[in-house]
Amino acid sequence: MNLRHLKDFGIGLGFVALQIVLFRHLKIYEMQADMVLIYLIWYMTQRDRTSSIIMAALLGFFQDAFLDLWGLNMFSKTLIVFSAFNIIPKTKEIRLLLGQVFLSILLITLAHNLIFLGLNSFVEQYSAELMFWRQLAGNSIYTAIVGSFIYLFRTS
């Protein structure tokens, strides 16, 4: 592990802390944005597939450790990074439109939340059907809106 990977991991842990401390409490109708997933989507655009998968596994593990969801975030984030890596544009010369960014983040978070909630159904933590759809659609839309705002106001 070189210094760049260690720095990226430290930033990722900062996003885990931001998720645990702040965004877990910034709920709108019990929906919350997943800042760790937004960081992983950005990370996929900057690094190679192996680094992205390892980063997703590590950050998912730490997120699970703090939220007491052992393995759910780790598996779902690793699987979504593995499967979505090829559809994310990698060149920095391409400036995406805000609608494209929103749609990309929305589709990735919908797939992530579907995997996460599918795993959760085995645990039977989310047994009510209404809560399933609110978590699937609501968290995905909220995460896509927050990610789009971050993309809109980024400085690069």
Task: With a cut of 90, say whether residue 58 has pLDDT above it.
Answer: yes
Mean pLDDT of 33-56: 93
pLDDT confidence of residue 130: 56
Structure confidence at residue 155 as a pLDDT band (50, 70, 90): low
- Written as one string, the DSSP assignment of 11-71 is HHHHHHHHIIIIITT--BTTB---HHHHHHHHHHHHS-HHHHHHHHHHHHHHHHHHHT-TT
Q: What percent of the chain lies above the pLDDT cut of 70? A: 90
Domain at 3-152, CATH class: mainly alpha
Mean pLDDT of 20-40: 88
In degrees and rounded to multiples of 5, residue 97 shows phi and psi of -75, 155
128 CB neighbour count, 10 Å cutoff:
8
DSSP 88: S
Task: With a cut of 60, say whether residue 6 has pLDDT above it.
Answer: yes
